[in-house]
Amino acid sequence: MTDKNKYLWIEYLIFACAVSTFGLVTENTYYLQIMTFIGINTLLGLGLNMLMGYTGQVSLGHAAFYGIGAYTTAILSGTYGLNPWLALVCAVAAAVLIAFVVGLPTLRLSGYYLAMGTLGFGMIINIVIREWDNVTGGASGFVGIPVLEAGSIVFMSGASYYFLVWGIVLAAMIICRRLLASRTGRALRAIHDGENAAVAIGINTHLLKLEIFMFSAALGAVAGFLYAHFVLFISPESFGFMFSIKIVTMVVIGGMASVWGALLGAAVLTLLPEVLHGFAEYEMIIFGLILMLVMIFMPQGLTQGIMDMIRTARRAKA
């Protein structure tokens, strides 16, 4: 094991210990619920960060895969009585298949055209969810989603669901870091730095972008599955355009091309509404102001900005 890999595993161990300690010592259900939502949003941020931060492809419809995962498991387990864990497999398969069909033509676009293409896709999925009311419940939402169980363990809102979500988040972070450390990860960075140059050295850029698009869709579907079985009620508003923008904001604020940035961005954007509970009418204005300040003073996101501040403080102290 190289020194770099050793330090990565130490990071994972520290992170796992911190998450476990919080779950074990916290008895307040509200705090556990907030942390669970942060974990679910981190999965969404991780998927989009792989696409935006490392491949340079902007998606404004990522909430669609979140919705596909949530509604697939809700319909299969709630309406047809399928085991939720089998429904998870179906949800991920559905999201990946739709990502393949959509990404095959769309990812040949770039820049604003790609953003508009993914925006249109997200809007179509949201309209389907709203209008297919005899299956999805329409604008009224879907009720009757079963609670997750594994043997004698019942994953209800609280410590059990908290550990389930953060265990999946830790696994997803490890998979993302392993992927980025591989030859594929180097190819992704080459596409981000210059797609024409990547093509010139023999990288099949379209295939690689499609694979990462499908991977991000799979993480979005897993997040949707966890969300549906956590709140036990879903509605189209949770998977609309504004939530897609919120996921993009998580990635930008936390720091693109950073696995830890996805976590930090998800934490900030999930906690802010709770902090601003008494100022709900100004929430979007405050979000916009924070995003503007981050872009001006920390253009690479909070993760890199905080690291730069620590280095500056160390140099000043020395």
Pair 118, 252: CB distance under 8 Å: no
Q: What is the pLDDT of residue 223?
A: 97
Q: How confident is the model at residue 189 (pLDDT cuts 50, 70, 90)?
A: confident
**Cα–Cα distance between 132 and 74 in angstroms, integer?**
14
The amino acid at 281: E
User: How many of the other CB atoms lie within 10 Å of CB of 278?
Assistant: 7
Question: In the predicted model, what is the mean pLDDT of the chain?
Answer: 89
Give the burial string for 201-234 (b: 16+ CB within 10 Å, else e): eebebeebbbbbbbbbbbbbbbbbbbbbbbbbeb
pLDDT higher than 80, residue 79: yes
Q: How confident is the model at residue 171 (pLDDT cuts 50, 70, 90)?
A: very high
| Stretch 124-141: mean pLDDT | 93
Query: Which is more confident, 191 or 65?
Result: 65
The 3-state DSSP class for residue 234 equals: strand
**Cα–Cα distance between 26 and 153 in angstroms, integer?**
19
Q: What is the pLDDT of residue 280?
A: 67
Q: What is the pLDDT of residue 6?
A: 64
Is the pTM higher than 0.85? The answer reads: yes
pLDDT higher than 60, residue 174: yes
Q: What is the pLDDT of residue 2?
A: 54
| Stretch 238-248: mean pLDDT | 91
pLDDT higher than 70, residue 1: no
Q: What is the pLDDT of residue 3?
A: 52
Q: Which pLDDT tens digit goes with each residue over 83-110?
A: 999 999 999 999 999 999 999 999 988 8
Three-class SS of 179-214? HHHCHHHHHHHHHHHCHHHHHHCCCCHHHHHHHHHH
Q: How confident is the model at residue 186 (pLDDT cuts 50, 70, 90)?
A: confident
Identify the architecture of domain 3-317 in CATH.
Orthogonal Bundle (1.10)
Q: Which residue, among 241, 237, 238, 268, has the nearest Cα to 252 in the 3D structure? A: 268
Cα maximum dimension of the chain? 67
Q: What is the pLDDT of residue 120?
A: 93
Pair 48, 62: CB distance under 8 Å: yes
* Cα separation of the two ends of the chain: 33
Q: How confident is the model at residue 216 (pLDDT cuts 50, 70, 90)?
A: very high
Query: Which is more confident, 74 or 2?
Result: 74
Q: What is the pLDDT of residue 196?
A: 81
Planar angle of CA 294, 250, 314, nearest 5 degrees: 50
| Stretch 250-262: mean pLDDT | 88
**Cα–Cα distance between 119 and 13 in angstroms, integer?**
38
Q: What is the pLDDT of residue 258?
A: 85
Q: Which DSSP letter does residue 74 get?
A: I
User: How many of the other CB atoms lie within 10 Å of CB of 161?
Assistant: 21
Query: Which is more confident, 25 or 311?
Result: 25
Which residue do the tokens 């604003």 mark? Answer: 112
Q: How many CA atoms lie within 13 A of 65 on its CB side?
A: 34
Q: Which DSSP letter does residue 60 get?
A: S
Burial label, 257 (beta-carbon count in 10 A; 0-12, 13-18, 19+): buried
Max mean pLDDT range (98-102, 187-191, 202-206, 260-264):
98-102
